[in-house]
Amino acid sequence: MNSLPQDKFQKGKFIGEEEGNRISEVVIYSDCAYIKRQARTLAQQGLNQFLLEVKAFGVDVDSTQASVYGDGEILSVQYREIPVKEAPQEEVRELVSKKEGLERQRKLLQNEKDVQDKQVRFLDSVVAFAETEMPKKIKTQFPESESLKTMLAFLGENFQTLADKTLAVKRQIEDLDKEITVVEKKLKKFWRSKPAMRKVIEVLFESPKKQEINIEASYVAINALWTPVYRVDVPQDLSRVKLNMFARIQQNTGENWNAVKLALSNAVPLKGTLLPTIESWYVDLPARDDLMVGASADSLAATPARRRVSQPSIAEPVEAAAEMEILEDVELSYEAEFRQAEQKELPLAFEYELPQPVNIDYADGDTLLPLFSKEMKGEFYNYAVPKIDPLTYLVCCISADSELLAGRLNVHFGGRFIGGTALPEKKAGEELLVNLGAERGLKVRREKLTDKLTETFFGKVDRSSVARELEFSTKIENLKDEPVRIHLFDSIPVSKTDRIQIKGVEVKPEPTQKNHQELDGVMLWDIQVKPRAVLDVRVKFFVKHPKDNLPSGL
């Protein structure tokens, strides 16, 4: 600055919202927001200093940049904070003013209470004096009975009056304390107990002439995020599946977004992230005392690593939803559709751009905006895991046709909300199971039929081991007058050591899939049960294990 000719330097020009400085575009990420501001102003000939006001509570200093549209050159762009007496945000100023007013009222009431406490102490001292043993000379001057009665009435009346006043003041102070607490919580949401600062983006611009210019500045503000919220609608006749996606937006940036162009991005902004590096991979044998008791190094090396894949997540329904009454069909107008957001594929992510200008104030709390709505193909069947849960559930299996972000999934069946769950991120083609509620027209019972010891294990006698025969029966009873499709899941034990053997597995009927989803021993039956029929699924196997070491999990 000192090297620039002072005769060419124009006095700094502050550009606030009153001077046309407004937010035009916002892109919300998972934990911040990219803000773009625009302003039109007059540049004088020579060096101009423009200060574009920014009201965000927190700004990533390194993210600030600016462009000037006009003849001339930009000399510098930087973010600055200028101490001020009051916060720039009107809502914060109002809260601070309200808190100061409440604290003044409290102080006045506290002073009034202190005076009343002194008056009570004075009356207490009079009573204490009357109760003390007085010298003979003073006793002769003690009031007559009439005067004493008058004094006692005076004391009683004043004690009662002061007690009432003190109680009323205490209640007023308590009410004020509650109001102050509410205001402090609101302030804490917006304010970070630091000195009030006026934040600006400073642009130094050399103009060859007096002219109108446009300034466009951008920065990243903290305290903003969005998360997906999904709604699945299934009618009672199971004729279709409708998926709606919403964006739940939380913005406490300190700035109001009025009529802005809004986009939502799933990109992850880099914050000092380093690229991963690879190092040498060394293999060694463990020390002898690190080996498990009863196992050799060879047996450990031979033990296969078993992959565990979790079952698909299912939305837990509200229990009462399974027995809800079905409303009779009534003639209604066509349902209004959600306005669709435009999805843009970017090199590293994708964005949803809202088709209309959006208003979001930072003091408004959560905002829910629709992104898209579409019909999807779904398979309906009953889902049962009787080993874990005696109930069966009507589910809808949807195949995702595009990547679904992790978020909240709310389920509506027959026009009513029945429950929800957290949806993990789904890729294209991956299955999504939606739980529509417990199915009362099916009964599934699993019971142990056989659990007995045998003398031999496939013709061999081993005195140090125990052989057991186990058999389980799962009965599926269809109480409906129509066939029912069911996915039944069960499992057989899988040994993790050669000291426990599982043999002689018999399954009737044969499962549709063995080792379902690469889970060892997990079986799936995809079967149809006829109307008013009972289907019996049998699982039988033999287990051999050491006599002095009962296996866990059986």
Residue 151 confidence class, pLDDT cut points 50, 70, 90: low
- Structural domain boundaries in the chain: 6-88+196-222, 90-190, 224-269+277-324+336-438, 442-546
Question: Do residues 525 and 511 make contact, with C-beta atoms less than 8 angstroms apart?
Answer: yes
Distance, CA of 447 to CA of 252 (rounded, Å): 56
String of b and e for 222-241 (b: at least 16 CB within 10 Å)?
bbbbbbbbbbbbbeeeeeeb
| Tokens coding 426 | 């789904």
pLDDT at residue 257 tops 80: yes
| Tokens coding 315 | 């939305």
What is the model's pLDDT at position 73? 95
Half-sphere exposure of 215 (CA within 13 A, CB side): 31
Q: Which residue has the higher pLDDT, 148 or 275?
A: 275
| Tokens coding 369 | 């905006």
The predicted-structure confidence for 272-302, as pLDDT tens digits, reads as follows 556 666 776 765 556 544 434 444 334 333 3
String of b and e for 434-460 (b: at least 16 CB within 10 Å)?
bbbbbbeebebebeeeeeeeeeebeee
pLDDT at residue 535 tops 90: yes
Nearest to 433 by CA among 301, 317, 294: 317
Q: Which residues pair with 153 in a beta bridge?
A: none
pLDDT at residue 309 tops 80: no
Q: Which residue has the higher pLDDT, 286 or 361?
A: 361
- Say which DSSP state 321 is in: G
Share of the chain above pLDDT 70, in %: 75
Mean pLDDT, range 306-331, rounded to an integer: 42
Mean pLDDT of the chain: 79
What is the model's pLDDT at position 54? 93
Whether this model's pTM surpasses 0.85: no
Nearest to 470 by CA among 383, 523, 522, 545: 545
Distance, CA of 302 to CA of 238 (rounded, Å): 50
Omega prior to 509 cis, within 30 of 0: yes
The answer regarding whether domain 6-88+196-222 maps to CATH 3.40.50 reads no
The predicted-structure confidence for 62-121, as pLDDT tens digits, reads as follows 999 999 999 999 999 999 988 766 666 667 777 778 888 888 888 888 888 887 777 777
Distance, CA of 247 to CA of 368 (rounded, Å): 6
In Å, what is the CA distance from 208 to each residue of 43, 72, 73, 169, 435?
9, 6, 9, 69, 69
Question: Do residues 201 and 218 make contact, with C-beta atoms less than 8 angstroms apart?
Answer: no
Distance, CA of 550 to CA of 552 (rounded, Å): 7
Measure the CA dihedral 330/417/483/508, to 10°: 180
Measure the CA dihedral 495/496/498/504, to 10°: 10
Residues 6+ away with beta carbon under 8 Å from 53: 14, 15, 16, 17, 21, 88, 198, 199, 200
Question: Do residues 477 and 386 make contact, with C-beta atoms less than 8 angstroms apart?
Answer: no
Order of all β-strands in the sheet with 73-83: 13-15, 46-54, 197-207, 73-83
The continuous run of DSSP H or E covering 207 comes out as strand 197-207
SS3 helix, strand, coil % of the chain, rounded to 5? 20, 45, 35
- Say which DSSP state 364 is in: S
Can you say whether the dihedral through the CA atoms of 101, 107, 108, 110 is positive or negative? positive
Pairing of strands 73-83, 197-207: antiparallel
Distance, CA of 107 to CA of 172 (rounded, Å): 11
pLDDT at residue 260 tops 90: yes
Nearest to 28 by CA among 382, 341, 278, 268: 268
Residue 325 confidence class, pLDDT cut points 50, 70, 90: very low
